[in-house]
Structure 1
Amino acid sequence: MNNTKKFSVCLAVLLLSCFMVFGTATANTLTVGSDSGDVGYTATLPITMSLDQGVEVGGVAFTLGYDPDIFEFVGLEQETKAISDASEYYTTTTGEAGTYTGYTAEVVGDTLFYQANDLADPDGNKFGRVAVAAASARALTGTRLFKAKFRIKGGDGTYPIELLKTIIENPDAGYDAPTFIPVLVGMPAAYSNAQGYYPTPVYTASLEGGSITVHAPEYTISGSVTYQGGTQANGSVVELQKPMAAAGGYWYVDETTVRNGTYSFTEPAGSYRLVVHPYDPMYLEATSDPFDLTATNVTVDFTLASGAERKNGTVTVNGQVLRGVRVKVFDADGNLVGIYPVNDQGYFETQPLAPGDYTYYAVYGNQE
């Protein structure tokens, strides 16, 4: 069996075709390293393999877990063994199916061929999961497989890079339900068995994740908050929020109280927005446009619009005005806001009321 044939069988096993495999329990370990840097830096994490004595591995499969709000997966980089996604050997002609060229026994034997799929939804939002599968025609030697690279987009502190088993659900390959696939695949036998398969061992492995520490410079988000008319909106609460990458919407980061008409936050670079909750209920909540905090401080000022409104209406009984009727007004919590008289035309009007829902009762004497 030549090297090209061995590679084809190994890759097929790794990518879940129909070759027979059998499990073997061994003390193998797959490990992701750690790195650190500032926002904008591309972190490089070595992925290493430690094998039990006598174990020969031709392929690996695993999933890298990361926070897509903090990092962007850049790709895999060569370590001690040449790596390739096979794109340089794939040629196409308009109107024809693609074909592989350039596969020599030497190239195949000296190269670790891989796929790295940064999973995303149909809109391109990343899940923070990179499914990696790699195979070689010859047993992998040395402990360093390749390097995983992540660009730091934001954040501050240490974040895990998980190393997980890959889950497959592919009815065409016989996996009707989600199934964990082997982490380590051995070398196929030199000869097929009676069923025409090349028996290939699979091995268990301990998975040890790594981390990236972000040293983020911090900048100031500040501004003034006043009510319409110029009065300082002291006591109002300014809430800082960040967008959620995949789910949409925003999540809470921090809050502060307006004092002397101003507020301030000190935060690392990233995307944010602000929401002001007025202390005076007669004024409306305000939300800023989203903005990026990058290499400079940001100022966002607010003028809160008045939301107070006088409520009015007409009270009649069977179409007739009844003298002496009053209107009781209650807020959404059932608290009495005020009692207002009805004039000779049945008309009433309240004092300015804060935004919200109210309930009205017509009262005549002791009756409602």
Structure 2
Amino acid sequence: MKLRIDQLGAQLKKQLAPVYIVSGDEPLQVARCCDQIRQYARDTGFSERHVYHVENGFDWGDFLSTANSLSLFAQKQILELRIPNGKPGDAGSKALLEYLSHPSPDNLLLMITDRLDNTLQKSKWFKALEQVGVFIPIWPIESGQLPGWLAQQLKVDGYRATPDALSLIAERVEGNLLAASQELEKLKLLARDKTIDEATVREAVSDSARYDVFQLLDSALEGNIKQCVRILGILKGEGIEPPIILWALAREIRLLSHLSRQLSRGMARDLAIEQSAKALGFVPFMLKRRTSLLEKAIRRSSERNLRQMLLYTGKIDRCIKGLEKGNAWDKLLTLTLNLAGLPPIQVIN
């Protein structure tokens, strides 16, 4: 069974399925969807939870052993498989098919993956799981839908926002729902009578004691090393999650790389900005307001250096997920300072 995320609540109330596959690249929606499933399962007696991170060399025998055994107190259990690339491999495919050959009503299988392409959705193991369970593909929210999504999040907690305020928030977060969620939490503290208007949003933006990821980006494009170090330290102290900062940096670097290629081919600046905005999901007029900053960054960064920075974002992502050793904040600082003009990063795969 295939469902939209907004259909999940009704399905859970009707009947808890034995298998749920949650797939998508939007971390906030994926997390909330999984939380909803876990909470409903706990409320219906699934008091144990086993989490498996599927990587190279993963022991599928351990997973099957847990699935086929009962605890001392015969409690129901959630078996959570996290497979980032959505590819269990031959051993995993066999294990999943074996699991389905004698499923226990005391088990709930929750599989979490990045977006599954059509090839993976045609695989034997996926079809078998989907046939007995629920598949929830999660798609990014389009820019035109974001104000409505923001309004709905506020409504849940008894707040409202004017259309202008919603548009301004949407413009600032540019599709990142993690950033949007944190922005809403800050704005709730400033809301008067639980209403957020444009002045409230601008007040939060203009607060000199408050820094955000977008100011970090502008400081990096400007080449202001000291300001980058200062803002990144403040963001860390305020509890901003590393994935939000990485998302913003990676998106900015992809934009610079795309723009650099277009300009090197002789394309006019305004047309290059328009095409890059369309290709990468930016708001065109916002890029035009930052033209001088973008040009400054492109002049000091070669296309090779930009490619190396993009490779480095992958290392940081693996570090955040615990798949690679290192301090994510140190690596974020290295990437930010490289973007600001310090010596290029050399990434060795």
TM-score, normalisation: structure 1: 0.28
* Structure in which a larger fraction of residues adopt strand: 1
Q: Which has the larger radius of gyration?
A: 1
TM-score, normalisation: structure 2: 0.29
* Structure in which a larger fraction of residues adopt helix: 2
